[in-house]
């Protein structure tokens, strides 16, 4: 250990006098362009866009898996997939959608928007932010290589013991699941630390906690859930790793172990997990609905505190996933009651959205339609969720298609509808043009149609008794009709997703052909401060750190009350918008170490699966990257890095505002 350290120290000692020595220790140039710029970027906006692009890519993979499932089940006695392939396909569908689509999509919005909405220059730790993204990508790629390396995991996304043991699943699939999700989890953990620090510590002057947009609040709760939930999954996975790779006995009933321990660990992680998947989408629609209802969000404090309440109560309901596992009547009662209670804060949110819509001057564009879509579809999913809280009913429904219908209504109808609303809403801020409304409305209505035709019938199938994870069924079981309908719907749904992707590219080429007209800083007449900067957002975000005076600060700078108490416009968004002049602003220099470290971790992962000898180069590589990271100069040495006179304007602004910061904090 010390040998490596002193070697690294020696290298860096020479590095101190000669920055060019050993190219790896020089910091990449901020001026480099093209792909290199993206690979080494530490800009939260670029990282957010990459998160979004990667999760859309994985969305296509997960979607193809879903279509394979629906083709297999379209008619009785499906022959497309063998039993073991079918297990792999539904496991990968679930795992990819949860860990590589919904969670990173939330991270995409969080990364892009958090600093913009709280008036910060970037996140607290830009390099760690880049690492979080790359490690998610490297883990996601590693998981998907299992398709080609002896078959994917086949234990379901929840991967119950003892079915996940070496006896019942001897292929390397579950080892891939384990190792790659450990790596992905590392990204979630570092991301959580980073984003919480950013929200708590880097708010603009005047941006007190109760002036933060609801999206920031929901993301903060989400990141706290991640911070505390991920380590529990990590422990479960490490125990499983010990069992599978090192012959430990944690889940081996022969040695007296209780395999139910896996279920407890998994769902103590897993239930906060479902809330951390939905809360970012709740945050997004809480931004979109007020913007297009032309009203402030109804009951802002209730929105905030119901989100926090969901965050807390999410920890006390995990065993409702286990009513059929024999946990005893007292536990069943307690978790049943707790589960009914958690519907209350969720219901508060739904009521608040409806109350925000009530009496508003509704602008029904695509973003708004998707938001209303979330409110309606999620409510259906929420109601079927309450029916799971009733333990006697749940004992009948559990492991049937009724459950499948429920969680697709909350995850697709909830989370994904919210994310797509967010895509349409913030697209002009990120890329400088709006997506087509015509295609967008086709996208929306086809998605609503396809979604309900796919997942609606699953309620009926579940109540008829069709089990989940069933590879095929026979004619006499009477499941054929609704399965055929669901499969039909899944193709409508897939087509609507295709329309979304087409819209992104087609709108771009139309915008380009029209000579790239400026969409303006504030295309929607928005409420929050991210609309007060140019579109696409300049690399330095704000020219001058904004000072925030109220909730929906940007709106109240545009509109003021006249003598009769009516709101009148006093300025347009374009008049107030910052010109996007980043002169003298110091930005963190790009770095290659996050991507290097992130892609050296799968080496360790593959070593755990194939041969422990590869741990030696793997761990060595990780250590080199860690020290390379630590010893990297904080700036591009060629760049005049901000200790110059131009910078004083900003420094002064910050100093001037220090007083108002402390004022803002004590307000809380």
Q: According to CB under 8 A, which residues from 194 to 223 bind another protein? A: 194, 196-197, 200-203, 207
Beta strand pairing status for 559-561 and 567-569?
Answer: antiparallel
The reply on whether position 594 binds another protein by CB under 8 A is no
Beta bridge partner(s), residue 569: 559
Strands (E), 334-484: none
Count Cβ neighbours within 10 Å for each residue of 474-500 and write b for 16 or more, e otherwise: eeeeebbebbbbbbbbbbbbbebbebb
Distances (CA, A) of 437 to 127, 258, 376, 398, 504: 37, 55, 21, 41, 11
Task: Give the DSSP H or E segment for 568.
Answer: strand 567-569
Only one of the segments 117-125, 163-171, 456-464, 495-503 lies at the binding site for another protein (rule: CB under 8 A); that segment is 117-125
Stretch that binds another protein, among 33-41, 243-251, 302-310, 470-478 (CB under 8 A): 243-251
Element housing 385 (H / E): helix 366-389
Give the CA dihedral 74, 80, 84, 89, nearest 10 degrees: -60
Q: Does 124 bind another protein (CB under 8 A)?
A: yes
Provide the residue count of the chain.
668
581 near another protein, rule: CB under 8 A: no
User: Which residues have CB under 8 Å from 494's CB, separation 6+?
Assistant: 63, 67, 450
Residue 412 backbone phi and psi in degrees, to 5:
-85, -55
Q: Between 15 and 154, name the residue whose CB sits nearer to another protein.
A: 15
Among 258, 475, 638, 656, binds another protein (CB under 8 A): 258
Closest approach of another protein to the CB of residue 651, in Å: 5
- Kindly report the number of other CB atoms within 10 A of residue 595's CB atom: 21
Q: Which residue pairs, CB below 8 angstroms and at least 24 apart, start in 506-515?
A: 506/436, 506/439, 507/433, 507/434, 507/435, 507/436, 507/439, 508/431, 508/433, 510/436, 511/432, 511/433
- Centre a 10 Å sphere on the Cβ of residue 178 and count the other Cβ atoms it contains: 26
Q: Pick the stretch among 241-249, 408-416, 428-436, 500-508 that binds another protein (CB under 8 A).
A: 241-249
Query: Which of 363, 651 has the CB closer to another protein?
Result: 651
Smaller CB separation from another protein, 467 or 663: 663
Contact call for residue 249 and another protein (CB under 8 A): yes
Is 35 an interacting residue with respect to another protein (CB under 8 A)? no
- Which window, 104-112, 173-181, 231-239, 299-307, contacts another protein (CB under 8 A)? 231-239
Q: How far is CA 262 from the centre of its chain?
A: 25
Q: Which helix (H) or strand (E) holds 567?
A: strand 567-569
Q: Which residue in 46, 70, 93, 127 binds another protein (CB under 8 A)? A: 127
Binding residue for another protein (CB under 8 A) from 261, 324, 463, 498? 261
Binding window for another protein (CB under 8 A); candidates: 91-99, 321-329, 451-459, 651-659: 651-659
In angstroms, the Cα distances linking 45 to 197, 324, 392, 536 are 17, 45, 48, 10
- With binding defined as CB under 8 A, does residue 126 bind another protein? yes
Q: Which stretch binds another protein (CB under 8 A): 53-61, 88-96, 256-264, 602-610?
A: 256-264
Tell me how far, at minimum, the Cβ of 542 lies from another protein, in Å. Answer: 11
Among 527, 558, 586, 596, binds another protein (CB under 8 A): 586
103: Cβ–Cβ under 8 A, 6 or more apart, which residues?
Answer: 188, 276, 277
Residue 325 Cβ vs another protein, minimum distance, rounded to whole Å? 15
Closest approach, Cβ 7 to another protein, in A, equals: 11
Among residues 80, 193, 470, 498, the one that binds another protein under rule CB under 8 A: 193
Site for another protein in 487-546 (CB under 8 A): 545
Measured distance CA(618)–CA(598) in Å, rounded: 12
User: Which range binds another protein by CB under 8 A, 151-159, 193-201, 454-462, 528-536?
Assistant: 193-201
Q: Which of 51, 157, 250, 417 binds another protein (CB under 8 A)?
A: 250
Q: Determine if 242 is a binding residue for another protein (CB under 8 A).
A: yes
As measured in angstroms, the least distance from the Cβ of 60 to another protein is 32
Site membership for another protein, residue 648 (CB under 8 A):
yes
Instruction: Write the interaction track for another protein spanning residues 284-323; mark x where CB under 8 A is met and - where it is not.
Output: ----------------------------------------
- Residue 464 as a binder of another protein (CB under 8 A): the answer is no
Number of residues that bind another protein (CB under 8 A): 80
Q: What is the largest CA-CA distance in the chain?
A: 82
């Amino acid at each position: 250990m010390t040998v490596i350290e002193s070697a690294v120290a020696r290298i860096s000692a020479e590095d101190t006098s000669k920055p060019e020595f050993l190219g790896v220790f020089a910091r990449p140039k901020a001026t480099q362009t093209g792909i290199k710029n993206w690979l080494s970027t530490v800009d939260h906006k670029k990282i957010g866009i990459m998160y979004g692009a990667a999760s859309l890519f994985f969305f296509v993979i997960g979607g193809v898996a879903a279509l394979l499932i629906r083709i297999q089940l379209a008619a009785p006695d499906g022959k497309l997939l063998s039993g073991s392939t079918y297990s792999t396909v539904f496991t990968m569908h679930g795992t990819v959608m949860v860990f590589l689509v919904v969670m990173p999509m939330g991270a995409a919005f969080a990364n892009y928007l958090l600093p913009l909405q709280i008036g910060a220059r970037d996140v607290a730790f830009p390099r760690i932010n880049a690492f979080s993204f790359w490690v998610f990508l490297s883990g996601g790629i590693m998981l998907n290589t299992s398709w080609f390396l002896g078959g994917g995991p086949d234990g379901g996304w929840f991967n119950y013991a003892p079915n996940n043991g070496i006896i019942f699943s001897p292929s390397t699939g579950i080892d891939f699941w384990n190792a790659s999700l450990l790596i992905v989890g590392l990204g979630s953990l570092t991301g959580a630390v980073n984003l919480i620090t950013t929200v708590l510590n880097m708010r603009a002057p005047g941006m007190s906690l109760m002036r933060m947009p609801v999206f920031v609040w929901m993301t903060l709760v989400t990141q706290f859930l991640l911070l505390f939930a991920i380590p529990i999954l990590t422990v479960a996975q490490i125990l499983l790793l010990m069992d599978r790779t090192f012959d430990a006995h944690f889940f081996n009933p022969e040695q007296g172990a209780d395999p139910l321990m896996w279920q407890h660990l998994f769902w103590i992680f897993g239930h906060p997990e479902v809330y951390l998947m939905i809360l970012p989408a709740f945050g997004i629609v809480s931004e979109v609905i007020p913007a297009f209802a032309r009203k402030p969000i109804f009951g802002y404090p209730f929105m905030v505190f119901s989100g926090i309440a969901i965050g807390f109560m999410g920890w006390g309901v995990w065993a409702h996933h286990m009513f059929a596992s024999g946990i005893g009547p007292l536990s069943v009662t307690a978790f049943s009651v707790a589960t009914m209670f958690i519907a209350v804060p969720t219901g508060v949110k739904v009521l608040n959205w409806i109350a925000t819509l009530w009496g508003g001057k509704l602008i029904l564009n695509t973003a708004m339609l998707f938001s209303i879509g979330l409110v309606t579809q999620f409510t259906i999913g929420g109601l079927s969720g309450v029916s799971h809280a009733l333990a006697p009913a749940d004992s009948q429904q559990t492991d049937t298609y009724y459950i499948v219908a429920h969680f697709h209504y909350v995850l697709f109808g909830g989370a994904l509808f919210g994310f797509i609303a967010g895509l349409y809403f913030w697209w002009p801020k990120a890329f400088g043009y709006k997506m087509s409304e015509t295609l967008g409305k086709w996208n929306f209505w086809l998605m609503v149609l396809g979604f309900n035709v796919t997942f609606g019938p699953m309620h009926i199938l579940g109540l008829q008794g069709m089990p989940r994870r069933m590879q095929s069924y026979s004619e006499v079981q009477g499941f054929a009709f609704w399965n055929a309908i669901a499969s039909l719907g899944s193709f409508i749904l897939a087509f609507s997703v295709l329309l979304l992707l087409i819209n992104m590219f087609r709108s771009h080429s139309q915008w380009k052909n029209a000579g790239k007209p400026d969409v303006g800083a504030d295309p929607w007449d928005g409420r929050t401060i991210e609309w007060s900067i140019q579109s696409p957002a300049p690399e330095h975000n704000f020219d001058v750190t904004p000072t925030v005076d109220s909730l929906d600060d940007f709106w109240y700078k545009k509109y003021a009350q006249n003598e009769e108490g009516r709101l009148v416009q006093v300025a347009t968004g374009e008049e107030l918008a910052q010109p996007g002049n980043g002169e003298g602003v110091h930005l963190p220099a790009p770095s290659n170490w996050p991507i290097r470290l992130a892609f050296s971790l799968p080496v360790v992962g593959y070593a755990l699966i194939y041969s422990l000898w590869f741990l030696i180069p793997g761990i060595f590589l990780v250590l080199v990257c860690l020290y390379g990271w630590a010893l990297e100069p904080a700036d591009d040495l060629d760049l005049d890095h901000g200790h110059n006179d131009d910078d004083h304007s900003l420094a002064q602004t910050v100093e001037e505002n220090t007083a108002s910061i402390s004022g803002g904090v004590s307000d809380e």
